[in-house]
Structure 1
Amino acid sequence: MRARHVTSEKEYRTPFGAAQLGGVVTLGIDIWDDDVTFCTLRVWTDAHGEQLIEMKGTSAGDHLHFSVDYKPAETGVVWYSFDIEASDGAVWRYGAKPGWTTGEGAFAYGDPPSFQITVFEPRATQPDWYKKGIVYQVFPDRFARGEGWREQAEAALAAHRNGPERVLVEDWDTAPTYKRKSETDLGIARWDFYGGTLEGIREKLGYLKGLGVTVIYLNPIFEAQSNHRYDTADYLRIDPMLGTERDFGRLCDEAAEMGISVILDGVWNHCGRDSVYFNRDENYPDAGAWQAHEDGAESPYADWFTFNEDGTYAGWWGNQDMPSYRDDCEPFHELVCGKDGVVRKWLRAGARGWRMDVADELTDEFIAQIKAAAVAEKDDSVLIGEVWEDASNKLAYGKLRQYFQGKELDGVMNYPLRTGLLDYVCGHIGADELAARLEQLRENYPRDAFYSSLNLLGSHDRERLYTVLGGAPDPDSMTEDERETFHLDTGQASLAMSRLWLTVLLQMTLPGVPCVYYGDELGLEGLRDPYNRATFPWGGGRRDCFNIFRNAIAIRKTLPVLTDGEFEPFSSGHGVFGFWRRGKDGSQVCVLVNAGLHDSRTVRVPMVDEAVSDVVSGNAPKVDHGQAEVFLWPLGTAILHFHKKIRLQKPLERGMGVLCHVTSIPNGGKPGTLGAPAKKFVDWLADAGVRYWQVLPVTPPDSFGSPYAGLGAFAGNTALLEKGIDKTLAALKGCEKTREFREFCEANEYWLTSYACFMAIKDLLGPVEWQKWPAKYRSFSPELAEDPKLKAGVLKHAKLQFEFEREWAELREYANSRGIAIVGDMPMYVSGDSADVWAEPDIFNLDDDGYAGAQAGAPGDAFAPEGQLWGNPTYRWDVLAEQGYGWWLCRFSRAFDVYDYVRLDHFIGFSSYYSIPKGKKPSEGEFNFGPGAALFEAAYAQFGPLPFIAEDLGVITPAVRALVAQTGIPGMDVVQFADNDVRGGYEPKPGTIVYAGTHDNQTLLGWVKSRFGVEGEEARELAGRIARDVLATDADVAVMQLQDVLGLDDDARMNVPGVAEGNWTWQADAADVAAAADHLADLVRESGR
């Protein structure tokens, strides 16, 4: 006889996984090779014991299928197996395989292991802020010293205190250790404090926000004797070493302003012997339980603890330093859960949830009371339990625990995931074992509990992540001195770094809430307590580790499907672990990891949509016979993003483009302008068959001529007017009375009035930055347009913008009539001294005087080791999001009025941007997250398909690739940045627009000379061949700078980044342009564009 029941397959069990109370579960089993006459479902619950339920059999081709509907009567765990009566009367018993409660079953002699169904009631209000978050665990004493830390610490340590010595460690970088009482008595003789404070955490909120953190989980912060504070002395008082209740409230308030919530650590199984409740060390004036027991003193805490006849008392795992509360101690439960009790008091003070220490030691009833208290104070508060095993079927003290029935825990610390993931990465188990373990958790946990699991890799109770990944020996095999001095050697540290990316990538792409233990993101090392509790290495640490964590977090933030999408784990052989994440919106992502150190793997997965890209490598996997094929190096990873070919983007038709700013076109020795010079250039392009003319921004430039910084993000550059400003104004006399002018002003009211007022004030006061203007002009109001001193200037600038609009619209219409689309350019940032910052200060990060409080820039790299400070104010993306991105949508709308397509400069800034506090060096800046896809989804909702091109050059992270994949906006691929030697051929990244060069690069000829060391005719021939290779690619659009069409050297560069003067002045020679007409036509024709 053969039989089959697989818990995850709908033929055998529906609904999938845990079952909601009130619903029906359909169970089935298939049987082959016997004319079975009878099949019984055996069910066991703690409430009702065993039930035997007859199943109905039907013929299904070559086998029999038996099924039955079962309706659970209450929440809890239902165990089941099958009894099958064969045709000869023998009873075959079928259940789960040993060690498992899910998956495919097996026959057994005697009673088989049972399958499991978890029955639950859903919570009415889910803590979505937590479920969608990134958690960061802080050990308060070791994270950061805040202002006033020394005075605070010295004051707390000054008073005499019985018990172990308590000392302040001066050197923050001193490695942690324990001073034991003796070799035989391992109790702590001295507690070392490092001076970390709540104020220190508050001062580092910017760092945490930049990392991507949305939830801080604080280890205990209440008064205690020790530095870990799990020996609580007073639940209602912040430990004075850490700060005050006011400090805590300020931390929570400012964290909330940054989108960060705070979870506290509740220790409710035990307290400290040195506490107001027990008071064995007699450091508190009122009698505690110890005095009541020893001296018969009256104490409200006399009955809170259990004393033994030998003078000992119940303690956490027998620890006499941590006396345990009695399970039935109602006064203690009231202290914790009452209206003004611990849970509600600190939620009221600013916390948003609790992590509950040693949940196994608390009764189900007490946990339910704690949950009820939390929800009564904040209906979306969260309660997380410390449970080390599968919490759905945890046995504690002989009782099956009730953690997930609806009134208890929202989630647990996901130690089973940590164990499985690290075992897999370190080669102790195969991918198939990891997939089965995670599948079992998925089936056993209610969905909300599974997605609320706290997915930790490191903690205060476990070895440091970096130490584990480096292959450190088992701490139990080492002496205390060896554990204290252990550090990874060079080879081990290299192995840890090699494994870190795939490990953190898995953490950030699996379901559940990722939790980063402080310092893991900088590669801190350490074995178990106390060595895993070293101080945070401010100004040090392994920066490569930080980049790994932040990039992985950024991917999670960019792809919402990784937060709430369905989860389907699988393995490809023993080595490759993979899983699908599938969203309700149809989005599908497949994550693949090869944890092997030596063997490469090729993996094929179903092609589930029209197109696919790997956001880790940027490559498009090979697709053949409905399968996407991925090659994984040892320790290789892939995140396959499946999508439609058309997403939010407006496709570009195949063609060639020429990049040339308006000022660079020939104009009789003067800078190029609109009107006749620009139309003549359009004719030259059209006659050759060019489809796209790409220009630099046509907004007003700065004093150095840069079009990427200036006085307004919406206005046109009136220096481009064909007749010049004076003649234009003379010709416009009286135009304000025309219908066309009034309609222009009305259509552009959202930017025109503020810009015209700004420029009129500039005319009045001279080149003084607006922050230094008189108070009456320092902020915009529409009434300024009627100011007698400004009215004429306002009209003047409105007229100039009216004429710019007319001339530009005429040029665009003419270009379109000749088959040419104009590709414009939109700078990411605006100048601090601009109409935009002046009129909309709330959306920029400014100080009290209106200057940039946080400035845009870039961290150090090989080209600029000290980093770059651009000086532009950064955006307040949180405010913009609250406003529905209105300012940006207006900016997009204006760009669509001006251009056919828009290149978005510094596209990476929409994913992450580098922000440098005022007065700080670039090296002191931090990355922060931009709006991601939310901005472009808002734009798509308003405008439809988006005619954007992403300038995604430079250091492109997987998160930027994910943003490009999600939106469909084509990126750029510049041949000069190719990884390979392009003399042997050039193949750009898929889905990109290819460029021979841009305004920020060398000319192609200049690059060939410097890159390959060739000169003269050889250089010209090579540059020409590479240009033809660029045009011959499969990319829909290929663009060449005009300088490269003309074959010019680096003296024709438009811009040298990092050099303020001498840029933006190059202009083409009319004779050179005319002479190149046939060459341009040949390029278009030969490339089939």
Structure 2
Amino acid sequence: MLQNNQFSVFHSTVYPWQYVDSDQVLHLMICVKGAGPISIKCLACDPCDTDKGVFGEDRPRLFTYEMRCEMEGPGIQYFTLHIPMNTHKLRYHFSISVLGHTYLYDESGLSEDKEELYIRPFFVAYTYSDRCGGVPKWCNGMVWYQIFPDRFAKEDSDQTRGWQSGKITDKDLVCGGTLKGITSKIPYLKQLGTKGIYLNPIFQAGSIHRYDIIDYLKIDPILGTEEDFVELCEKCHSNGIRIMMDGVFNHCSYLSPQFQDVINKGEHSRYYDWFIVYDTDRLKKMDVKTGADAQFRVSPVYETFAFVPSMPKFNTCNPQVMDYLIGAAEYWTKKCGIDAWRLDVPDEVNIEFLRAFRRRIKTRNPDIYIVGEFWGNAVKWLDGETFDGAMNYPLYFIVRDFLAKEKISAFPCAKLLTQCLMANPPVRRCGMFTFCSTHDTPRILWHCGEDRKKRDLCYILTAALGGQLSVYYGDEIGMTGGYDPDNRRCYPWNSGTAPKEMKEAIRDAVSLASDDGKGRICRICALDEEVLGVIYERRRLYINRSKEEKELPDGTKICPQSYCYL
């Protein structure tokens, strides 16, 4: 961040400040803090597009582009520009007018105007179209419904037999949900406005959560057959519903035939280099299932996910491992017309694996959506070489802390949300996967202390901020639950307790997420400690978290713990 006495400016030549998309359009973003009325121009051209000056020097044939104020937050403004790349490289700098003065901003910082000889421009390196990934156009306004297969629906008519009601404390409890059960609920999902189903893992595995996969080419028999899955995909597609699969490529089950071979043969196993083993003698002696070796955490026998011995980590640098896992994903993508893949803990997977996964899967389906599970800032993964988007945990935490927990007021919330949104340029924001609950977090109603009005506001605000909204199964009828495994309760189909008002709130959220008529988000603001505003080009959304009625600037009254969309 470079500054003078009045304001500060920031730009960089990396994503999201500089980005070239698959249509060879350059997207630039610059941030200004503390300035009053301001205008910014970008002066750019191919670095080799020059004329000769009076002394024989090369002088660039610069074109001037007016930048647009994309978003305003408390004390901060973001300006953007979109330039077609008529050649494969570019040079540029900025002219900033504020408070009657004009400044030049280049790689050397903010300064008074200076001659071309002394300008140090920013550069766009030579661009290659195959490295400039774009988000599939169908992702705009997408609404997903996340399903934990064992707990959503059974295939038989009696949905109560063997179906656990209420709190779940046994993480290994098998409740009997199936793929046919999901298929039977397609009319219900359409009624909610669902456009896609995100399935937690469905392959044969060693546990009910199935993040410890045994066979990547076999549907878990407890859920059904391959034919059942094909039928589910076909019926979803015929009803306009897309399918997202969960790709667990960082680790597998200790019961996988490859790891069992390593246990039995040690260094002589053909799969030895598929894993990262430190001590084959201890491996043969230890109880892998329970991890009885007390020294495992401080002195691991082999690499695992989260120190769990039953989940050995793949060596994803190994070409054979890459081919096996990506080949399995290709098989399902081709056979079932899979529309999207969500990759589990990709920040632990070799980057070359992720690049190869994108290249090969996009070859099978150029329009497929690839999203990564990242709990922090995912900027480094969103430059178009690996992922189309990320699970937007930073956004989730802000919404949770403002509305569910009430740990921050509307003022810091507005600032944090502005920064969070602008961490991704608008052209790629539709690739972000937004949510209020997942299989890895307590349900949002639980975080809200069972306050349904708070929970409704969380969904409305999340939907208002762009990206692809995901509804975790049962949230729409008021399901609750704390930390894993309690957040994976059974859907109470026959309980008769589904509250109508929550379905209406979810429908409002779905409608808001899909409403193109509101235009882009221009500003996020706080009216006071309790009221947050999201200002679009053509609409306005206000959220009042307090238990008192509030009055908006135009005189409109907003009820306690409510929202209005004007």
User: TM class by shorter-chain length?
Assistant: 0.7 to 0.9
State the alpha-carbon separation in 2 of the partners of residues 260 and 568 from structure 1.
Answer: 33
Conserved in 2, the CA contact under 8 Å of 1:173 and 1:537? yes
Task: Kindly provide the CA deviation profile for residues 180-229 of structure 1, in whole angstroms up to 9, marking residues without a partner as x.
Answer: xxxxxxxxxxx221110000000000000000001100000000010000
- The SS at the match of 1:71 is strand
State the alpha-carbon separation in 2 of the partners of residues 536 and 218 from structure 1.
Answer: 15
The one of 525, 542, 545 aligned to 2:502: 545
State the alpha-carbon separation in 1 of the partners of residues 82 and 375 from structure 2.
Answer: 23
State the alpha-carbon separation in 2 of the partners of residues 529 and 235 from structure 1.
Answer: 24
The one of 371, 375, 387 aligned to 1:384: 371
Supply the AA of the counterpart residue of 2:387: L
TM-score by length of 2: 0.76
State the alpha-carbon separation in 1 of the partners of residues 513 and 487 from structure 2.
Answer: 27
The one of 151, 161, 173 aligned to 2:165: 173
CA 1:554–1:574 in 2, change beyond 3 Å: closer, same or farther? same
Partner of 1:784: none
Instruction: Map 1:838-877 onto structure 2 (within 5 A).
Output: none
For the pair 1:73 / 2:65, whether they are aligned, the reply is no
- The SS at the match of 2:541 is strand
Partner of 2:56: none
- The SS at the match of 1:321 is strand
The one of 556, 559, 564 aligned to 1:633: 559
> Which has the larger share of helix?
1
The one of 95, 112, 127 aligned to 2:136: 127
For the pair 1:142 / 2:151, whether they are aligned, the reply is yes
Deviation at 1:532, TM superposition (A): 0.2
Supply the AA of the counterpart residue of 1:524: M
CA 1:69–1:13 in 2, change beyond 3 Å: closer, same or farther? farther
Task: Kindly provide the CA deviation profile for residues 306-342 of structure 1, in whole angstroms up to 9, marking residues without a partner as x.
Answer: 111354110012221111111311101111224xx32
State the alpha-carbon separation in 2 of the partners of residues 263 and 228 from structure 1.
Answer: 16
CA 1:23–1:121 in 2, change beyond 3 Å: closer, same or farther? farther
Conserved in 2, the CA contact under 8 Å of 1:561 and 1:581? no
Task: Kindly provide the CA deviation profile for residues 616-656 of structure 1, in whole angstroms up to 9, marking residues without a partner as x.
Answer: xxxxxxxxxxxx4322233231111xxxxxxxxxxxxxxxx
CA 1:56–1:507 in 2, change beyond 3 Å: closer, same or farther? closer
My pick for the range that moved more, 302-311 or 10-19, is: 10-19
Conserved in 1, the CA contact under 8 Å of 2:141 and 2:430? no
State the alpha-carbon separation in 2 of the partners of residues 267 and 128 from structure 1.
Answer: 26
- The SS at the match of 2:243 is strand
Deviation at 1:171, TM superposition (A): 3.7
My pick for the range that moved more, 317-326 or 259-268, is: 317-326
Deviation at 1:405, TM superposition (A): 1.5
Instruction: Map 1:35-46 onto structure 2 (within 5 A).
Output: none
State the alpha-carbon separation in 2 of the partners of residues 121 and 433 from structure 1.
Answer: 37
Conserved in 2, the CA contact under 8 Å of 1:28 and 1:67? no
State the alpha-carbon separation in 2 of the partners of residues 356 and 372 from structure 1.
Answer: 15
- The SS at the match of 1:278 is helix
CA 1:327–1:298 in 2, change beyond 3 Å: closer, same or farther? closer
Conserved in 1, the CA contact under 8 Å of 2:139 and 2:430? no
The one of 265, 278, 282 aligned to 1:292: 265
The one of 301, 304, 312 aligned to 2:274: 304
Partner of 1:4: 7
Supply the AA of the counterpart residue of 2:326: C
Conserved in 1, the CA contact under 8 Å of 2:411 and 2:528? yes
Supply the AA of the counterpart residue of 2:507: R
Partner of 2:396: 418
Supply the AA of the counterpart residue of 1:123: G
CA 1:204–1:231 in 2, change beyond 3 Å: closer, same or farther? same
Structure 2's unaligned 5+ residue stretches are 10-29, 33-37, 43-66, 68-78, 284-300
Conserved in 1, the CA contact under 8 Å of 2:39 and 2:98? no
State the alpha-carbon separation in 1 of the partners of residues 80 and 216 from structure 2.
Answer: 39
The one of 479, 495, 516 aligned to 1:560: 516
Task: Kindly provide the CA deviation profile for residues 596-618 of structure 1, in whole angstroms up to 9, marking residues without a partner as x.
Answer: 234x43222xxxxxxxxxxxxxx
Supply the AA of the counterpart residue of 1:57: E
State the alpha-carbon separation in 2 of the partners of residues 232 and 630 from structure 1.
Answer: 55
CA 1:633–1:325 in 2, change beyond 3 Å: closer, same or farther? same
TM-score by length of 1: 0.41
Task: Kindly provide the CA deviation profile for residues 41-92 of structure 1, in whole angstroms up to 9, marking residues without a partner as x.
Answer: 56xxxxxxxxxx3655149xxxxxx9974224379xxxxxxxxxxxxxxxxx
Conserved in 2, the CA contact under 8 Å of 1:450 and 1:511? yes
Aligned-pair RMSD on alpha carbons? 3.2
Conserved in 2, the CA contact under 8 Å of 1:386 and 1:413? yes
State the alpha-carbon separation in 2 of the partners of residues 569 and 446 from structure 1.
Answer: 16
Conserved in 1, the CA contact under 8 Å of 2:92 and 2:122? yes
CA 1:591–1:69 in 2, change beyond 3 Å: closer, same or farther? farther
- The SS at the match of 2:6 is strand
Conserved in 2, the CA contact under 8 Å of 1:149 and 1:195? no
Deviation at 1:8, TM superposition (A): 4.0
- The SS at the match of 1:303 is helix
State the alpha-carbon separation in 2 of the partners of residues 567 and 121 from structure 1.
Answer: 30
Deviation at 1:127, TM superposition (A): 2.0
State the alpha-carbon separation in 2 of the partners of residues 278 and 441 from structure 1.
Answer: 41
The one of 225, 241, 265 aligned to 2:206: 225
- Larger Rg over CA atoms: 1
Q: Which structure has more RCO (C-alpha within 8 Å, separation ≥ 6)? A: 2
For the pair 1:336 / 2:262, whether they are aligned, the reply is no
Task: Kindly provide the CA deviation profile for residues 837-894 of structure 1, in whole angstroms up to 9, marking residues without a partner as x.
Answer: xxxxxxxxxxxxxxxxxxxxxxxxxxxxxxxxxxxxxxxxxxxxxxxxxxxxxxxxxx
Partner of 2:256: 275
State the alpha-carbon separation in 2 of the partners of residues 374 and 510 from structure 1.
Answer: 29
Conserved in 1, the CA contact under 8 Å of 2:316 and 2:322? no
Deviation at 1:347, TM superposition (A): 4.2
Instruction: Map 1:112-511 onto structure 2 (within 5 A).
Output: 122-123=132-133, 126-147=135-156, 170-173=162-165, 175-178=167-170, 191-279=172-260, 288-293=261-266, 298-299=269-270, 301-309=271-279, 311=283, 312-338=301-327, 341-392=328-379, 402-425=380-403, 426-470=405-449, 493=450, 496-511=451-466
State the alpha-carbon separation in 2 of the partners of residues 170 and 636 from structure 1.
Answer: 39
Structure 1's unaligned 5+ residue stretches are 43-52, 60-65, 76-119, 151-167, 180-190, 280-287, 393-401, 471-492, 583-587, 605-627, 641-1089
Conserved in 1, the CA contact under 8 Å of 2:244 and 2:339? yes
Instruction: Map 1:982-1021 onto structure 2 (within 5 A).
Output: none
CA 1:74–1:306 in 2, change beyond 3 Å: closer, same or farther? farther
Deviation at 1:39, TM superposition (A): 8.9
State the alpha-carbon separation in 2 of the partners of residues 507 and 169 from structure 1.
Answer: 36
Conserved in 2, the CA contact under 8 Å of 1:18 and 1:445? no
Partner of 1:741: none
Conserved in 1, the CA contact under 8 Å of 2:333 and 2:365? no
- The SS at the match of 1:439 is helix
Partner of 2:63: none
Partner of 2:550: 601
Instruction: Map 1:752-767 onto structure 2 (within 5 A).
Output: none
CA 1:391–1:73 in 2, change beyond 3 Å: closer, same or farther? same
State the alpha-carbon separation in 1 of the partners of residues 162 and 156 from structure 2.
Answer: 15
Task: Kindly provide the CA deviation profile for residues 687-741 of structure 1, in whole angstroms up to 9, marking residues without a partner as x.
Answer: xxxxxxxxxxxxxxxxxxxxxxxxxxxxxxxxxxxxxxxxxxxxxxxxxxxxxxx
> Which has the larger share of strand?
2
Conserved in 2, the CA contact under 8 Å of 1:291 and 1:297? no
- What is the aligned length? 472
Deviation at 1:262, TM superposition (A): 0.5
CA 1:121–1:429 in 2, change beyond 3 Å: closer, same or farther? farther
Deviation at 1:263, TM superposition (A): 0.2
